[in-house]
Every structure is written in structure tokens, then in C-alpha cells.
Amino acid sequence: MAVQTEIKTYLNYINGSWVSSVSNQVEPSLNPANRHDIVGYVQRSTLEDLNAAVAAAKQAQASWRKRSGVERGEYLYKAARLLEQRLDDIAETMTREMGKTLAEAKAETMRGVHILRYYAGEGARKVGDVIPSSDSEGLMFTTRVPLGVVGVISPWNFPVAIPIWKMAPALVYGNTVVLKPASETAVTAAKVIECFHEAGFPNGVVNMVCGSGSVIGQGIANHPDIDGVTFTGSNAVGKQVGRAAFERGAKYQLEMGGKNPVIVAKDADLDLAVEGTISGGLRSTGQKCTATSRVFIEKEVYEPFKAKLLERVKQLKIGNGLDADTWMGPCASESQLNTVLSYIEKGKAEGAKLLYGGKRCLDGELANGFYVEPTIFEEVDLQMTIAREEIFGPVLALIPVDSIEEAIRLANDTEYGLSASLYTKNIGNALQFIQDIEAGLIKVNAETAGVEFQAPFGGMKQSSSHSREQGQAAIEFFTSIKTVFVKASE
């Protein structure tokens, strides 16, 4: 075990200053590749800290909203430049803190840079429409105003991209922000907020308070001075957040789980389908809300698809995400590892056939981390737990089907509706899939995971609050429309 000489403590960011929690308590953020490696200490905050952040955000809002969108955008451009300059350090921190490979962490950090630049540009774009009034002497138009103070509750699986895709539009449209990042990745979040600090945002416009979900997260949902809450995470918590916000009349936006299907048609390019299934299902150790979980394969190609998939999965190198040859890192935390292992046990107990993997990895150095083998089941009944609940781990269920119609019907037999893919060369299959699949993100001949910042993202059914994030869609959540009618007086 390496001896750590200096472990930094990361502070909350309130009203333009880095401050300790009034609790004087911190908690360690651990490296999931090696539980003995503490990435940093983060604040275990109280409601008093949250109140201070919300008060600062509320005060700052009055002047922030009065600035032009172009001016607000300039701050985002500065934050983007700083994030890009620090990309290597922030990506390495993300890998150490959350486990995804360094290549994925770098790509995600760069995605954060692009999101900041995209929303910086939004500051100069139109916010309303002129609508013909029935009164020929009247001028009728829409304009938009910010919500006020926005609370951002973010998860650990995209520690840079998700906070940024929520904060950047919030800020450019004139809101001020209080971020509560997941404790598991709060060091990475602090480094992102350092970029906002150095970009010179006025005091109180951006704030970060670290702490437990039940205190700070729930505190954001309940806070009377927080006008909008945007959340990504589990369904159970999301619904709790939504209920609390609804009760007090605040606006809320929830992005939650998925049980995302891939359908492989008998005419599919099987190599492409295998690559897409592996990448969509197992990259980031399956810890994406868009990850592939169920694979429906037309019977004619079931065996060749399965053989190719197994051959390819055997080649995947599991290890520390900082090692250049690692393809799949650990689960992000011990509790996530235990959740994944318990789903695998349920799968076996309920009668699914384990084709590959299924165990915790305990060889050599891996024993110090939270590693699990990529896992493939077949003979999966759609009523089994592993076919119904979000696992958030590298676990795939293979299900043979007689036709594309049957595949779509079974794929839709879930409470979720986030993303879905079809592999086919037949345009008729593709059109039917686009028409009938119940998902907010639909791909043909591409994997279920991976969203683009300039396009709307969100789910149907229980996967979201039916709102959309990112792209131009973000303006719908982060602003309110005012319809204005003006007429000259005699």
C-alpha cells in the first residue's frame, strides 16, 4: 500500500470564497481502483452552509439577471478556456475518483468545454417570438426571464459533464446556481468550480455545497428560496426531489434511470452490433443511464451474435482506468459494486443462465478496488429482476425474438424509456423502430449511450420528468416565458 503524504481538503464555494462547513466535518473521497487511496477530503455540510449559499445566490441574482446574455456568455467562455487548460488534471482526478478510463475522462472533460462554449453562444441568441395579435394596432411578443436561484443535484457517473450541462444554461439565461455534487466525485466537482471561480463570475453567482444527499440534496429540494431544481440520479431519489419541489411550487427537472434495449435484426452488420452492444453496455462499467442492458436478437442470428459477443468480451482488459491498456475500470464505489453483485445473484437465483463473468475481480491489485467482471446472461425471462430494474453495472441480458415487431413490443415492456438502438440494414425496420419504440433517444446502427450537447436529451415514461436537457431545449426549463402585448395610448 502506497503511503500518502499529502491529502488535500476541498472546501465549499460560497459567495465567491472557499470556506469550510460550519460542521467542521469532512469525509474522504476514495479511489474505487484502490480503496486505500484517498483522493481528497470533502466537506460534510449542514443546512446552515446551504442557507448561506442560497442567500448569496439570491442576492447575486438581482444584478446577474440585469446583465446582457452576451456579457454572461463571456464568463462561460472564460470558464471553458480554463477547463480546457486543466483538462489533463481534471480528467485524471475524475479517473482516480470515479474509475472510468482516462480516455473517457478526457473526452468527458472536453465535452464540458464544448458545452460551456455552446451555452456561451446562447447568450447572443433570440429568446422570443413576435406573434400576430388579433388587434392590428397591438404588438405581441414573447420574452423570457430567468427562474431565479437554481439548485443543481448531480450524480457521480459524469462528474464534469452533468454539472456543466445543468449550470451553463442556468447561468447564461440569468439564473444563479447552488451545486450539490455527489460526494463520491466532489473533488472533481471542486476542480470544475475552481474554473468558474477563476473565470471571475461575480460573488454568489456560482456556489457549491458538498454533503449528503439526505441533508443538502433534500435541503435544496425543500428550500423556499430555490426557484428551480435540476436533478440527475436514481428514480427513488428523483421522485422525492420532484415531490418536494412540486409541493412548494418550484420548477423541477428530473433525469433518472433507464433499461435501454438494443435490437439486432437478422440483416444487421453483426460486428457493428457487437461493438455497439459492448461499448454501450460495458464502457464506464455500465454506469450510464443510457447504458445498454437488454439485447433482443432475431433468432436467425442469435447464435452467431452471441459467439462474436463472447469472443469480444473475453478480450476486454479490466484494470485501473489510469493504465493506458485498461478498457474497463472498477465500479464507482463499494456500494455500487455490491448493488451490481446482488443483481447478478438475483439473476442466477431467478433462473437466468450465466454465460460469462458474474464475479468480483480479486486478482492481485484488483482486490483493492471495486471491480466486477463484464457479465452476460441468457435465458432471461422479461419478468426477472435483471430484465426489469436498472442495474447500473456491466451486465447484459440476451433475449432471442421471432421478429422486429416482437422485439419492439418486448423492448417497450419496461417502466423506463430513455434510449434504444436498432442494428439493421433495412430501412423499413428502422422506420418502424423510430415510430414505435418508447424512448427519448433513439439510434439506428449506433450504441444506446452517448448524447450530444447540442441536441435535446431526456426520457419517456419513468426515465424523466418529461422535460429535456441540453441543446436549445434547456431554455424551456431554465427560463419562464412572458407573453407581452403593447399598444400605443391615444
- The entry of ligand NAI, ligand AKG, none near residue 241 (CB within 5 to 8 angstroms by kind) is ligand NAI
- The entry of ligand AKG, ligand NAI, none near residue 208 (CB within 5 to 8 angstroms by kind) is none
Closest CA to 478 of 237, 229, 240: 229
* Cβ-count burial 443-460 (b if 16+ within 10 Å, e if not): bbeebbbbbebeebbbbb
Query: What is the DSSP annotation of 67-93?
Result: S-HHHHHHHHHHHHHHHHHTHHHHHHH
- The entry of ligand AKG, ligand NAI, none near residue 234 (CB within 5 to 8 angstroms by kind) is ligand NAI
Amino acid letter, residue 478: F
- Residue 256 as a binder of ligand NAI (CB under 6 A): the answer is yes
Distance between CA atoms of 468 and 335, rounded to whole angstroms? 29
Closest CA to 42 of 69, 60, 18: 18
Closest CA to 249 of 223, 275, 283, 280: 223
Amino acid letter, residue 67: R
CB of 181 to ligand NAI, least distance (A): 6
Give the binding range for ligand NAI (CB under 6 A) out of 214-222, 313-321, 355-363, 405-413.
214-222
Taking CB under 6 A as the rule, which mask of x and - marks residues 143-182 in contact with ligand AKG? --------------xx------------------------
Distance between CA atoms of 482 and 485, rounded to whole angstroms? 10
Beta strand pairing status for 17-19 and 12-14? antiparallel
- Residue 456 as a binder of ligand AKG (CB under 6 A): the answer is no
Which residues, 6+ apart, have CB-to-CB distance to 141 below 8 Å?
128, 129, 130, 131, 483, 484
Q: Which helix (H) or strand (E) holds 28?
A: strand 26-31
CB of 121 to ligand NAI, least distance (A): 26
The answer to whether 462 touches 257, Cβ cutoff 8 Å, is yes
Write the CA distances from 77 to 72, 405, 453, integer angstroms. 9, 47, 16
For ligand NAI, which residue of 93, 232, 462, 467 counts as binding (CB under 6 A)? 232
Query: Which active-site residues does the annotation give?
Result: 255
The smaller minimum CB distance to ligand AKG, of residues 245 and 451, is found at 451
Distance between CA atoms of 398 and 361, rounded to whole angstroms? 23
The smaller minimum CB distance to ligand NAI, of residues 358 and 393, is found at 393
- Residue 189 as a binder of ligand AKG (CB under 6 A): the answer is no
- The entry of ligand NAI, ligand AKG, none near residue 233 (CB within 5 to 8 angstroms by kind) is ligand NAI
Q: The cell 477547463 sits on which residue?
A: 83
- Residue 451 as a binder of ligand AKG (CB under 6 A): the answer is yes
- Residue 254 as a binder of ligand AKG (CB under 6 A): the answer is no
CB of 161 to ligand NAI, least distance (A): 11
Neighbour tally for 373: CB within 10 Å: 18
- Residue 290 as a binder of ligand AKG (CB under 6 A): the answer is yes
- Please, which of residues 374-413 interact with ligand NAI by CB under 6 A? 390, 392
The smaller minimum CB distance to ligand NAI, of residues 220 and 352, is found at 220
Q: The cell 468480483 sits on which residue?
A: 360
For ligand AKG, which residue of 28, 202, 450, 456 counts as binding (CB under 6 A)? 450
For ligand AKG, which residue of 105, 152, 226, 289 counts as binding (CB under 6 A)? 289
Taking CB under 6 A as the rule, which mask of x and - marks residues 193-232 in contact with ligand AKG? ---------------------------------------x
Closest CA to 370 of 323, 334, 319, 424: 334
The smaller minimum CB distance to ligand AKG, of residues 153 and 451, is found at 451
Q: Where are the alpha helices (DSSP H) in 223-298?
A: 235-247, 270-282
For ligand NAI, which residue of 9, 63, 142, 214 counts as binding (CB under 6 A)? 214
The smaller minimum CB distance to ligand NAI, of residues 169 and 286, is found at 286
- Residue 51 as a binder of ligand NAI (CB under 6 A): the answer is no
- Residue 292 as a binder of ligand AKG (CB under 6 A): the answer is no
Distance between CA atoms of 65 and 33, rounded to whole angstroms? 43
- The entry of ligand NAI, ligand AKG, none near residue 451 (CB within 5 to 8 angstroms by kind) is ligand AKG
Task: Give contact residues for ligand AKG (rule: CB under 6 A).
Answer: 157-158, 232, 288-290, 449-451
**By the criterion CB under 6 A, which residues form the site for ligand NAI?**
153-157, 180, 182, 213-214, 217-218, 221, 232-234, 237, 240-241, 255-257, 289, 336, 339, 390, 392
